Copies of this chain bind each other. A is one copy, B any other.
């Protein structure tokens, strides 16, 4: 298996002719998918991190991404619900805590609301999700349904985009702080925290799929789960670009105030 043999990769799958015969080939293929499909490559991120967006466009990004963030603990509860094995449930449970926090301690969702508030959005409006793009909703809900309906192995594999998140978050923190006068370190605390959380989570998930995908068919399922998840992320940025960069805001969605 090398990158050249993955030319049959479609929007949906790595292609029927790929036969991964070892955990090492699986990992190499997963890293290739990340290198070619992860949303760090999306033009909207280049605009966001390069200081090319106005405040309203950054607001639209944060508003829509809130729906993704606030759905993650629901998705993780679904993943937990797929495992009769107590050890896997225990391992996965801290992900819910990372996002939901606890009584008296904030979690990722509250940190995200610091970002939207810092950008000038009304928190009640953000939490209502009434103004997000329909494409955001469909993509995010597809992720929850995927974890409910596919195999437990695929549910875990769909989290593997976290392997590629830390580089993106580093770039985002430095790029946004450098380029936008309406961004400060405090409102970027979500990303700083994820720099520590994501590698631990991704490490577990990678070890899990390498150990539990024991046939070429299962290794292909794992790869296709990662492709699915890169699509979930990519679709969200396509929708933001179409609506807020190219100017095609769909009916009823958030309209930035003229500045």
* CB of A133 closer than 8 Å to a CB of B: yes
B12:A129 contact, CB within 8 angstroms:
yes
Contact pick for A138, options B13, B235, B252, CB 8 Å: B235
A208 to B: closest C-beta gap in Å: 25
Flag the segment in A77-85, A96-104, A188-196, A238-246 that touches B. Answer: A238-246
Bitwise interface map of A from 8 to 19 toward B, beta carbon under 8 Å scored 1, else 0: 011111000000
Report the interface size class on chain A.
35 or more
Chain B residues positioned under 8 Å from A28 (CB to CB): none
Chain B residues with CB under 8 A of A145: 141, 145
Tell me which residues across on chain B come within 8 A of A227, comparing CB atoms: 252
* Interface set, chain A 224-238, CB cutoff 8 A to B: 227, 230-232, 234-235, 238
Tell me which residues across on chain B come within 8 A of A43, comparing CB atoms.
248
Complex Cα spacing A254 to B12, Å: 11
CB distance from A239 to the nearest CB of B (A): 7
